[in-house]
A and B are shown apart, each in its own frame.
Chain A
Amino acid sequence: MNDVIRLGLLRLCDAAPVILAAHEGLFAAAGLNVALSVEPSWANIADKLAFNLLDGAVMLAPLALACAGGLRGAKIDLAVPMSLSSNGNAITLAASAQSAFAAGGIEAVAAAKRPRLAVVHGFSSHDLLLRHWLAGQGVMPERDVDITVLPPAEMVGALAAGAIDGFCAGAPWGLVAAKAGLGFTAALSRDIWPDHPEKCLALRADFANAEAARLDALLRVLLHAQRLCAAPDGRQALSQLLARPEYLDLPAPLLLAALDPAQGGPAFTAPYPAPAYGQWYARQMQLWGRAPAGLEALAAQLYRPDLFLRAGGEARDIAEPPANANFD
Chain B
Amino acid sequence: MKILLADSNAARREALSAQFTRLDAAFSIIALATDASLLAEVERLRPDVVLVDMARPDRDMLDSLPAQGGTPPVVMFLDGSDPAFMQEAISAGVSSYHGQDVAPDAAKLVMRLAVAFFQRNQQATAKLQEVEEQAEQRRAIDAAKRLLMKEERMSEPAAHRFLQRRAMDQQKRLAEVAADYLAAQTRQGQKP
Contact = CB atoms under 8 A, between A and B. Distances in A.
Interface of A: 40-44, 46-48, 50-53, 66, 72-74, 120-123, 148-151, 153-154, 163, 289-290
A195 to B, nearest CB: 26
Contacts, number: 78
Q: Which of A43, A72, A120, A290 has the most CB of B within 10 A?
A: A43
Interface in B89-110: 90-91, 95
A71 B96 CA distance: 17
Contacts of A66: 64
A154 B60 contact: no
B33 interface: no
A40 B57 contact: yes
A74 B60 contact: no
A146 to B, nearest CB: 12
B58 A151 contact: yes
B87 A52 contact: yes
Interface residues of B, number: 24
A51 B87 contact: yes
Interface of B: 37, 39, 54-66, 76, 78, 80, 83, 86-87, 90-91, 95
B90 A148 contact: no
Given A41-B58, A44-B54, A289-B66, 5 more contacts: A51-B83, A52-B83, A74-B80, A149-B60, A151-B58
B63 A120 contact: no
Contacts of B60: 41-43, 120-122, 149, 151
B107 to A, nearest CB: 14
Contacts of B80: 74
Nearest to A62: B64
A139 B7 CA distance: 38
A44 B66 contact: no
Given A51-B83, A74-B80, A163-B37, A41 B64 contact: no
Q: Which of A40, A51, A121, A290 has the most CB of B within 10 A?
A: A51
A154 B57 contact: yes
A292 B61 CA distance: 22
Given A73-B76, A153-B57, A154-B57, A121 B64 contact: yes
A151 B52 CA distance: 15
A122 B65 contact: yes
A41 B66 contact: no
Contacts of A48: 90
Nearest to A40: B57
A46 B60 CA distance: 11
Nearest to A153: B57
A41 B63 contact: yes
B66 A149 contact: no
Nearest to B91: A53
B57 A51 contact: no
A163 B61 CA distance: 14
Contacts of A46: 63
A154 B78 CA distance: 28
Q: Which of A40, A66, A154, A289 has the most CB of B within 10 A?
A: A40
15 contacts: A40-B55, A40-B57, A41-B57, A41-B59, A42-B60, A43-B54, A44-B59, A47-B86, A47-B95, A51-B87, A53-B91, A72-B76, A122-B63, A149-B39, A153-B57
